[in-house]
Structure 1
């Protein structure tokens, strides 16, 4: 069942999304060679809790951390750890905030140091595909229009789109209906209506679209161990507009990519 939000509820989500955006900005300051990913998790949790939020991910179905930190061939759901970032890595930071009864969710993938041109191109294309998907997330369209825009753009560049992992509705629960795949046919899927709040999150691979789940039950990596990129925004759909509730502004103020 889809839970439609009132304008007041959307504003609450937007308030939480501002905390989330600023937490991302704090993390971005420390993404560089020599930093442990567990330290980034500590930075995010402290900022969120100091600003009247709760980390959405920590404890969710037993997940141990506030951030999902996914390095290189890890697509999503990686654990923060004692891993030390190295020159040439890429790192996806995915975070959620629970604020006044509602969740928001966003992600960003960073290059660390000198990253190959091929990998930088993947990151840029994945980020661009997020906004192309959002352009189709409008009243009267369907979820397939979002996925089709993402899929057509990245596949034209030679990349692949994961099938098993999708975007989602979000609100009082972190994951709600409907699912929002990053592939699909125009005019197919769930109709987009006013009051829907969606987390749109392209996950795009340099190599095969196939993925593997590690033994920890969480970490998802590419089957061929080539790198994967991930960007995400939470958006609200109204009859006359679609509003991006989360922000990457504070990331981009602190990290030049």
Structure 2
């Protein structure tokens, strides 16, 4: 394992890349409604990212099978946990949820963030899943400080979600991030306090709880990308990129503009 500590200048570049991801997700939030296709959202995202001088990191990113990802964002609807491929055949409908994961490469550094959006009127049960998953993200971030251990992050996420009866996906994790989109270490959403590597100031991590309404078991669809829940129940996914600091993590991405839009719906 090789973990790179970032300088202040590098963290500033990462902040810019992550703020562009957040701006892109905000642009998509304005367009999410019944009748919209996920392919349309992908086209909006790619144009926005490129117009701001960045590259959509996900496009052509290879999976373990060697298949390049064909789009600029992942659009995961309802029981798709992650890595959903945008399509003109996937039309959003009232009551759906959609997780949009987005990455940018700007001035040599990566940004990565995900938000799960409601489409029209969503049931209270699903809203509770979303709020719990987002809360778990911030519980994890509270533990991403110098002197703690990697297991402290996963333990915080796991405890918060499992005590409410939700499933915590184990096969997929958060990750280090910097010049590469995926760097060491892996950041699981489960674990034991005091376990794992010691966190140091200057580490940059993407923490991303992937939480299921039912059983935590997952499966891969034939496209070799989309990961779904085995029981067909919905899943939520929220992600921030942050810099580990002494005392309190510094979150480099942002949900604030999305949350302002949601408050006005």
Q: Give the TM interval when normalised to the shorter protein.
A: over 0.9
The whole-number CA distance in structure 1 between the counterparts of 2:184 and 2:119 is 35
SS at match of 2:191: coil
**TM-score, length-scaled by structure 2:** 0.95
| Partner residue in 1 for 2:65 | none
SS at match of 2:27: helix
Q: Which residue pairs with 2:74 in the alignment? A: 68
- Which residue among 200, 207, 210 is the counterpart of 1:200? 207
**1:72-91 alignment runs, 5 A limit:** 72-82=78-88, 83-91=90-98
For residues 252 and 168 of structure 2, what CA distance do their matches in structure 1 show?
24
Find the residue that maps to 1:63 and give its secondary structure.
coil
Quote how far apart the aligned CAs of 1:200 are.
0.2
Number of aligned residue pairs: 257
Give the structure 2 partner of residue 159 of structure 1: 166
After superposition, where does 1:90-129 map in structure 2 within 5 Å? 90-129=97-136
Structure 1 residue 24 corresponds to structure 2 residue 25? yes
Contact 1:147 1:183 in 2 (8 A): yes
Which consecutive unaligned segments of at least 5 residues does structure 2 have? 63-67
**Partners of 2:111 and 2:20 in 1: CA distance:** 9
Q: What's the counterpart of residue 228 of structure 2?
A: 221
Distance 2:260 2:56 in 1: 22
CA distance in 2, matches of 1:78, 1:126: 19
Measured in 2, the distance between the counterparts of 1:19 and 1:41 equals 15
Q: CA deviation at 1:240?
A: 4.4
Q: Is 1:238 equivalent to 2:245 in the alignment?
A: yes
Secondary structure, counterpart of 1:188 in structure 2? coil
Normalising by structure 1, what TM-score?
0.98
Where in structure 1 are there 5+ consecutive unaligned residues?
Answer: none
